[in-house]
């Protein structure tokens, strides 16, 4: 996945290799990017990659004007994606089947935040 480097991925997995994680995805699209991102989601869902790695899309929604945020704090889309483990996430992004369509995500997104989360409440 572009934007992720090997050292950051290794640190991410090493923090808790087998514990579940939910990724908060904050996405700002390039011009015309939403359609390409939805194509990426369709390919992801139909490829079997999600089932192979136990990935669950918990929530996905379009963003609207923020009620409270710093300048530039509006996002076009927000998604919560669950993984059974951090290792599953790493294995997925390295899977050749995933890499075959990941370019759609890279082309769609101008700016993104990928924030790992674990239950706290």
Give the C-alpha separation, 60 to 93, whole Å: 20
Give the C-alpha separation, 31 to 24, whole Å: 22
CATH number for the domain harbouring residue 110: 3.30.70.100
Number of domains in the chain: 1
Q: Is residue 3 part of a domain?
A: no
Q: Is residue 35 part of a domain?
A: yes
pLDDT computed for residue 84 by the predictor: 97
Q: Is residue 68 part of a domain?
A: no
Mean pLDDT, rounded, of the chain: 93
Average pLDDT in the 27-55 region? 96
pLDDT computed for residue 66 by the predictor: 83
Q: Is residue 28 part of a domain?
A: yes
Q: Is residue 11 part of a domain?
A: no
Q: Give the domain range for residue 84.
A: 19-63+77-117
Q: Is residue 102 part of a domain?
A: yes
pLDDT in tens, 65-84: 888 888 778 999 999 999 99
């Amino acid at each position: 996945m572009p934007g992720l480097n090997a050292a950051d991925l290794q640190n991410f997995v090493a923090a808790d290799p087998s514990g579940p994680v939910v990724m908060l995805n904050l996405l700002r699209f390039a011009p015309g990017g939403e359609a390409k991102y939805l194509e990426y989601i369709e390919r992801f869902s139909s490829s079997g990659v999600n089932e192979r790695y136990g990935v669950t899309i918990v929530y996905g929604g379009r963003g609207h004007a923020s009620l409270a945020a710093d300048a530039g704090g509006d996002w076009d889309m927000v998604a919560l994606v669950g993984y059974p483990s951090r290792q599953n996430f790493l294995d997925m992004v390295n899977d050749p089947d995933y890499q075959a369509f990941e370019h759609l995500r890279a082309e769609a997104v101008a700016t993104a935040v990928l924030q790992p989360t674990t239950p706290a409440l």
